[in-house]
Amino acid sequence: MQVLTDPEQVASVRHAEVRLLAQRRFAMLEEDEPFDPNAMGYFLVVEPGDSVARLNERLGFDLLANRYTSARFDTPDFTPSFEVLEKHRTCYEIVFVLSDDGYGVEVFVPKEEGIDQELLAMCAMHAVPSSEAHEP
């Protein structure tokens, strides 16, 4: 997994659509002030071979379950605790706001071989089409 806390790190993202989306998100967050990961949060890019357990450890919560009820994505009582999960052409984008001051984590999940199948299943099940006017 890649953790992005600085716009300069985006160039190292190998997945083209994720790289473009991360550039856009950093630009949006920097419109009024320089990006501050301590105040705003960070981006996490899932890579082939990453286990959900490792992602959960980094995030501090179970990515496949509601953060408050622990209901898993594949159970009838699941309600999302993410703000949005958008489907793009070659990836998914999940936004979690973790505090009232807006601190959050944005998780990019490429639709490619080697990405955890349960994570891709959750994304496919709960994603909405991207609201971006111009997809990359």
pLDDT interval class at 134 (50, 70, 90): low
Percentage, residues of the chain above pLDDT 70:
97
Picking from 72, 61, 54, the residue whose alpha carbon sits closest to that of residue 118 is: 72
How does DSSP classify residue 37? H
Tokens of 30: 């920097």
Asked whether residue 21 is domain-assigned, the answer is yes
Tell me how far CA of residue 97 lies from CA of 15, 66, 106, in angstroms. 24, 13, 9
Residue at 136 is within a domain: no
pLDDT at 108 over 60: yes
Tell me whether residue 41 is in a domain: yes
Q: Has residue 135 got a pLDDT over 70? A: no
Average pLDDT, the chain: 94
Whether 16 is covered by a domain: the verdict is: yes
pLDDT category of residue 7 using cuts at 50, 70 and 90 = very high
* Contact criterion met (CB below 8 Å) for 114 and 48: yes
Q: Is residue 8 part of a domain?
A: yes
In tens, the pLDDT along 123-133 reads 999 999 998 75
Q: Which two tokens stand for residue 2?
A: 């890649």
Could you tell me the residue range of the domain that residue 34 belongs to?
Answer: 2-129
Number of domains forming the structure of the chain: 1
